[in-house]
Amino acid sequence: MQSISLLFILLTCSAATIAAQITPPAPVGPTPSDNQLRWQEMEYYAFIHFSINTYTDMSWGYGNEDPALFNPTKLDARQWARVCKEAGMKGIILTAKHHSGFCLWPSEYTDYSVESAPWKDGKGDIVGDLAAACEEYGLKFGVYLSPWDRNHPDYGKPEYITYFRNQLRELLTNYGDIFEVWYDGANGGTGWYGGADTLRKIDRTTYYDWSNTYAMVRELQPDIVIWNDGGDRADLRWVGTESGYVGETNWSLLNSTGPVPEEELRHGVEAGDAWVPGEVNTSIRPEWFYHPRENTKVKTLPELMDIYYQSIGRNATLLLNFAIAPDGLIPETDAQRALDFAAAVNEAFADNLVERASATAEQVRGNDPKYGATQAIDGNDATYWTTDDGVTAASLTLDFGQPTRFNRFLVQEYIPLGQRVRRFTLEALVDGNWEEIADETTIGYKRILRFPTVEATRLRLNITDAKACPLISNIGVYRAPQILTPPTVLRKQSGEVVILPADPESELFYTLDGSEPTPDSPRYDGPIATDAGGIEVSAVAYSPISSELSPVTTERFGIARTDWRIVDIPDEQVANVIDGDPDTYWHQPAGNALPASLIIDLGKQERLSGFRYLPDQRLWSSGIITEYNFYVSSDGETWRLVSEGEFSNINNNPLWQDKTFDPVTARFVKLEALANTKEDNAAGYAELDVISESAMR
C-alpha cells in the first residue's frame, strides 16, 4: 500500500516537473488583433440596403433622384433588428450612404438626405433609429459609407475628401459603438455631381488618402474593424465575389503592400505578412436593393445552406444582405427565409457526436494533458490539442465506441497564435477498414466539411502539413438532415422547356399556370413543348424516399426564340448567345474594338418593352459590358435608339440585367457595347434576350 502511494507521489511530481518545463507554443506569422478576433467570432451578421434608389428600381442611384420619392409608410428599424436577431445574426451594417449620395441620416454637410424627404416631415434619422434598435435587441451596429458619391459636386476633387471625412466623423461620433465600417470598392464613373452630369475618374490608390482616414476612424472607434476590398490593407478583406463563397483554401493573410489580385482575395496568401481575414458578402436576393421582379428570386434554403458552408465553413464571416422594400420593411418572404435558414443551421449542428466519443492523439506536446486530444472536444475554444515544436504532421482519433452515422465535420484552429494548417485529411473506420473521406487544405478559425453520410466507429483527423505545430481548439461531428435542392428550369431556343434535377434520384413536378407544383401536378418526363408566347414555369423536386419537397423554382420566359438568328456573324458559336443556356457564351473576336454590336433578327415583328443581357458567367471573365446603347429596327437598316445607360454593379454581381423601355414594334434588335469592366476592347455574352410586351415578367 505504502509503495503504491510512493509511486503515485513520484508520478505526480514528475508530471508536475514535466508540465512546468513545457512551454506554450510561440505565435507563427501574423496574428489577429483583439478587434479582429471579436469580429471573427461574430461569424454571421446582416447588411441592409436601403436608399433613394429603392424607389426608382435602380441598382445604383445616379445622384439626381428627387428626395421627395423617399417616403416609406411603414418604416420600422425595430422590425429589421428583430428579424436579424431571430435569424441568429450578431449585428447589422446599414447603407448610411450609397453611391447616389443620399444620406439616411440628417447630415450637417448636405441637404441630400432624409432631411429633405417627406418621411417624418424631414425629421427622421434612420441611422439613429437602427442604432437604437440594435442596442435594444443586443446586436452590434455598423455603417456602410460609399466613398463614391454621384450627387456631390466636389467628387473627384480634394475638397470631397474633407466632406467624406466629415460625414464619417458624424457617423462614428453620434451613434454609439460601431463594430465595422464598410467603404465599398465601386469608385468613380458617371454621375450627376451637382448638375455637372459628367464622368469623373479617380486614382483609387491615392485619391482617398486612406491611411489618414483609417487613423481618424480608429481614434473615434477604437474597437472597430475596417473593411476594404484589398487595395488598401484594412482589418478584413472582400473575397472577390458577391455570389456568397470564398475559396476552399483560405488563408487569413495578405501581403501588407502591393496590389491584391483576385486570386488572393479569394484564397488569401499563405506567406502573407498581415492578418486580413475574409468576409463573404452576398444578398438574400440576386441584387442588393429591392426590385419587385426579384420577389420570386429570394434565395432558397438549400442556396443559403450552401452559402453557409462556403463562407463560415471556409474560415470567413458571412454578411447577408436584406433589401428593404419601399414600405420600409424587410419583405415577409425574405424574413421567413432567413428564419428557416437559422432553424436549419441550428438543426444541423444541434447534436455534437463528439460528446459521446473519446479522443486520443498520436503526439501531444510534452505529453502534457494540458495539450492533449481531449482539449479539442471539451467545448472550450480557449484550450487546444497541440504537438511538440517541429512536429507538423500528427493525427487525432475519435472513438465513438459503436457504429455512428455522420456527414459533417467541423474543426477550428486556435488562431490567436496564427493560422498554421496547410493540409489535412479525414479517415473513417468503416467495417474495420480505414477509408479516406476528405483531403483538404486550410482550416483557420473554422472549417466545416460536408460529405455523404458514413457509418463509422472511429474518425481520424490527420494534419499532414502545417507551418508549425498545429493547434486544434475544437472539433465537431454531426449528422445533418438532407435538404432537397430545387430544380433548374431552362427554355431552349427551340422553345422547349427543360427541367434539371439537382439530385438525380428525385422526381420532378411542374405547373405552367402560376400555381404551386405538388406531387399531384404534371410529372416531368422530358422536354416540354411550348408555343411561341411568354410562359411561367414552376417546378419542384420530390424525394420518394423521404416524401419531402424541395423549394419551388419559378422562371418566366419571354417569347420563344425558335426563329431567331444572329445577323452577319459567321461564327457558329455565336448561337450560344440565344440558346437559353446561361453556361454557354460567345465573345466578339479579339481585335474588334468597342463599340461592338450584336444584332438579332427575331424572325417577325414583335411588340417589345425591354431587353435582358447576361454576361459570360465564368469566374473573372472578360468582356462584361458596362455601358450600352440598345436599338430596334423593322428592316435591319434604319435603327431607333430605345435604351441607353449602364449595367450597374455588373462586375461584382454578374447577373441578368433587365432594361425596359416604352413598348415598340420591331423585328431586329441591336445591343451596342460601349465599355466593359476591364476597360479593354472585349465584349462577351452568355445570353441576350428581349422582353416582349405580352410576355409575363
For residue 47, the minimal CB distance to ligand FUL (Å) is: 7
Of the candidates 325, 382, 406, which has an alpha carbon nearest to the alpha carbon of residue 71?
325
For residue 205, the minimal CB distance to ligand FUL (Å) is: 18
231 binds ligand FUL (CB under 6 A): no
Nearer to ligand FUL, 266 or 556 (CB): 266
For residue 280, the minimal CB distance to ligand FUL (Å) is: 12
Q: DSSP alpha helices (H): ranges in 52-157?
A: 77-86, 126-137
Nearer to ligand FUL, 304 or 411 (CB): 304
CA distance 656 to 691: 12
Part of the chain binding ligand FUL (CB under 6 A), chosen from 183-191, 263-271, 458-466, 617-625: 183-191
Cell matching residue 561: 426564340
Element (H, E) at 36: helix 34-42
Could you give the count of Cα atoms lying within 13 Å of 117 in the half-sphere of its Cβ? 25
Nearer to ligand FUL, 288 or 586 (CB): 288
Of residues 462 through 501, those in contact with ligand FUL by CB under 6 A are none
Nearer to ligand FUL, 184 or 232 (CB): 184
Cβ partners under 8 Å of residue 313, min gap 6: 410, 446, 447, 448, 449, 450
For residue 59, the minimal CB distance to ligand FUL (Å) is: 6
Of residues 287 through 316, those in contact with ligand FUL by CB under 6 A are 288
Part of the chain binding ligand FUL (CB under 6 A), chosen from 19-27, 86-94, 184-192, 585-593: 184-192
For residue 150, the minimal CB distance to ligand FUL (Å) is: 11
For residue 420, the minimal CB distance to ligand FUL (Å) is: 32
For residue 186, the minimal CB distance to ligand FUL (Å) is: 4
Instruction: Give the interface size with ligand FUL as a residue count (CB under 6 A).
Output: 9
For residue 694, the minimal CB distance to ligand FUL (Å) is: 32
Q: Are 371 and 364 a contacting pair, CB within 8 Å?
A: yes
Of residues 82 through 111, those in contact with ligand FUL by CB under 6 A are none
Q: Is 619 exposed, middle or buried (0-12, 13-18, 19+ CB in 10 A)?
A: exposed
Of residues 645 through 664, those in contact with ligand FUL by CB under 6 A are 649, 652
Of residues 594 through 653, those in contact with ligand FUL by CB under 6 A are 649, 652
Nearer to ligand FUL, 112 or 288 (CB): 288
Q: Are 682 and 676 a contacting pair, CB within 8 Å?
A: yes
Nearer to ligand FUL, 210 or 251 (CB): 210
Nearer to ligand FUL, 36 or 281 (CB): 281
For residue 287, the minimal CB distance to ligand FUL (Å) is: 8
**Neighbouring C-beta atoms of residue 69, cutoff 10 Å:** 15
Extended beta strands in 41-107, E state: 44-49, 91-97
Largest CA distance in the chain: 110
User: What's the one-letter identity of residue 189?
Assistant: G
Burial 390-426 (b: 16+ CB within 10 A, else e): ebbebbbbbebeeebebbbbbbbbbbebbbbbbbbeb
Nearer to ligand FUL, 183 or 564 (CB): 183
Nearer to ligand FUL, 50 or 112 (CB): 50
184 binds ligand FUL (CB under 6 A): yes
Nearer to ligand FUL, 186 or 391 (CB): 186
CA distances from 141 to 89, 104, 556 (A): 11, 15, 38
Of residues 512 through 571, those in contact with ligand FUL by CB under 6 A are none
678 DSSP β-pair partners: none
For residue 684, the minimal CB distance to ligand FUL (Å) is: 21
Of the candidates 596, 561, 576, which has an alpha carbon nearest to the alpha carbon of residue 680?
596
* Residues 58-77: x where in contact with ligand FUL by CB under 6 A, - otherwise, as a string: -xx-----------------
CA distance 61 to 225: 27
Nearer to ligand FUL, 51 or 553 (CB): 51
| Among the listed residues 151, 281, 474, 609, the single contact to ligand FUL using CB under 6 A | 281
For residue 472, the minimal CB distance to ligand FUL (Å) is: 34
Of residues 132 through 171, those in contact with ligand FUL by CB under 6 A are none
For residue 99, the minimal CB distance to ligand FUL (Å) is: 6
Provide the CA 282 distance to its chain's centre, in angstroms. Answer: 3
Nearer to ligand FUL, 126 or 471 (CB): 126
For residue 651, the minimal CB distance to ligand FUL (Å) is: 8
CA distance 215 to 359: 47
Per residue, the 3-state secondary structure of 456-517, as one string, reads EEEEEEEEEEECCCCEEEEEEEECCCCCCCCCEEEECCCCCEEEECCCCCCEEEEECCCCCC
Q: How many residues does the chain have?
A: 697
Burial 304-317 (b: 16+ CB within 10 A, else e): bbbbbbbbbbbbbb
Nearer to ligand FUL, 94 or 377 (CB): 94
Please state whether the peptide bond connecting residue 595 to the residue before it is cis, i.e. omega within 30 degrees of 0: yes
Q: Are 550 and 484 a contacting pair, CB within 8 Å?
A: yes
| Among the listed residues 185, 231, 603, 645, the single contact to ligand FUL using CB under 6 A | 185
| Among the listed residues 186, 483, 512, 664, the single contact to ligand FUL using CB under 6 A | 186
56 binds ligand FUL (CB under 6 A): no
Part of the chain binding ligand FUL (CB under 6 A), chosen from 181-189, 456-464, 481-489, 540-548: 181-189
Nearer to ligand FUL, 176 or 185 (CB): 185
- Which residues form the interface with ligand FUL (CB under 6 A)? 59-60, 184-186, 281, 288, 649, 652
